[in-house]
Structure 1
């Protein structure tokens, strides 16, 4: 039995699909089992990583677990709780979804979100793998409505270069690590094959759609206002603004070969992702 937390998220839902496709027995932890679009045969349990009782129930009988426990700056306790529950339930192997740059002091508070969970994973005594993906190609879905309407799309995370990664590669890496002990004790920084600016992603998307895709550049103050207007707290908004500054200063201009090492093939490009999702923008 493999437990997947965050089972309806960008990464978790694809991890569930891949595990189920290869015949694994999968349990999905989700807040809405009835509304979750999961493959047939997947065992679903209601709950959220912040609900310790639900997590403990979901861990029972699992041999491996995919841990998604950070949704904001205040989730360190719940991230550690996932590891504690896994160890208490006798889970043998854990794979934690973290993020690129974790622990980098230049990121300020944003760089500390995943540190307690990573530390708990490494100290757990279990077989563990940590995945640190770069910026997801799917983040550009936030532009979709504006692109469909033919107006400039606001971009919240600056125009610095990033090793943009296809989330499908992250999910495949997670599925591989859940089933193969050779990945134990490893921290993988997962990136795409090239460093791209947001403006370059927009140009690629425009080529695929056959029309120009424009972005609106925001000042740090405008970014903060938009984030607060979206309902994020001040700590969360300030952390993301700091993250945008880190990207703008070149801190996330990183490309690795870790996707190739885990999957035995090159990482997908942003162009491949955009081609596969062009209907969303059309």
Structure 2
């Protein structure tokens, strides 16, 4: 049995959709009412990472797990791995971050993911690490201002990021979860090109067939926006990460996705066209 976590999020939901079309899967959800997945081959297990006994029940009979965590202030990887070892799980595919491999990246989120990877390496479990660059879907944060004002507000609007379509992350996750030969492998994942927020705005404008403007945020304005969603340590980590993008340190395109899957990574223009309705078309 394969267990998938993060299934109410962007990547985990796509992994579940891909796998459930070919085999039974078990999905872990803290709040099952948030699930948008259904089908006879999807089994739902309810557990929070902090609930060891519930995790053990969810992991019963599981041999391979997809691990997604998103709160650097919580030891959720430690909690999950402890339960996985106790339950007899053999292989964990971990969603990590591209910056883990970059020595100059020292923000809280990157340090947390490095520590998570090291924890898993030492666990005795087989492991595979997926290290994506920023998700193309992060631009969904612009949807409200695009619909209401035709405006995108962004920090570093003219600095590139080789962002990746979450569906491509899901493709390689599904591969590593279901086929042998991926234990001990690390997969850095990017899109086919580095795009700036200004270029993303132009491509959304073309898809929506309406003019869009881009406005540059100051560091203080960006911090204020992020503070509405994240605690202060995470906001500081995001600002540090943005500083690296301003120095064009996130523009490298990596060929690993195509080498591993035989598929071309989706460009941002494709992602934009496929999600136009969210922005008002």
TM-score (norm 2): 0.93
SS in 2 for 1:215: strand
Residue of structure 1 in register with 2:225 after alignment: 226
1:187 aligns to what? Answer: 186
> Cα distance, 1:13 vs. partner?
0.8
Per-residue CA shift, 1:103-128, capped at 9, x if unaligned?
A: 53433223202112111222222221
- The Cα of 1:97 is off from its aligned counterpart by 0.4
Per-residue deviation, residues 196-232 of structure 1 (Å, max 9, x unmatched): 111111111111111222222111122112222x142
- Where 2:106 maps in the other structure, the secondary structure is helix
Q: Which moved more, 1:82-91 or 1:50-59?
A: 50-59
Q: Report if aligned partners of 1:73, 1:235 keep a CA contact under 8 Å in 2.
A: no
Aligned residues: 278
Deviation readout 1:70-118 (Å, 9 max, x if unpaired): x23313x211222222122111111000111025343322320211211
The reply on whether 1:59 has 2:64 as its aligned counterpart is no
Structure 1: runs of 5+ lacking an equivalent: none
Report the alpha carbon displacement of residue 158 of structure 1 after superposing the two structures with TM: 5.2
Please give the TM-score of this superposition, normalised by the length of structure 1: 0.93
SS in 2 for 1:196: coil
**Separation (CA, whole Å) in 2 of partners of 1:181 and 1:226:** 43
Aligned to 1:17: 17
In structure 2, C-alpha distance between the alignment counterparts of 1:137 and 1:155, rounded to whole Å:
14
Matches within 5 A, 1:182-221: 182-221=181-220
1:166·1:192 contact (CA, 8 Å) conserved in 2? yes
Deviation of 1:156 (Å): 4.5
* 8 Å CA contact retained: 1:157, 1:243: no
Written as runs of structure 1 = structure 2, the 5 A alignment for 1:100-249 is 100-102=98-100, 104-109=102-107, 110-156=109-155, 159-228=158-227, 230-249=228-247
Q: 1:98–1:114: 8 Å Cα contact kept in structure 2?
A: yes
Distance 1:107 1:218 in 2: 22
Q: What runs of 5+ residues in structure 2 fail to find an aligned partner?
A: none
What is the CA deviation profile of residues 169-212 of structure 1, one whole-angstrom value per residue up to 9, with x for unaligned ones? Answer: 00111111011121211111111100111111111111111122
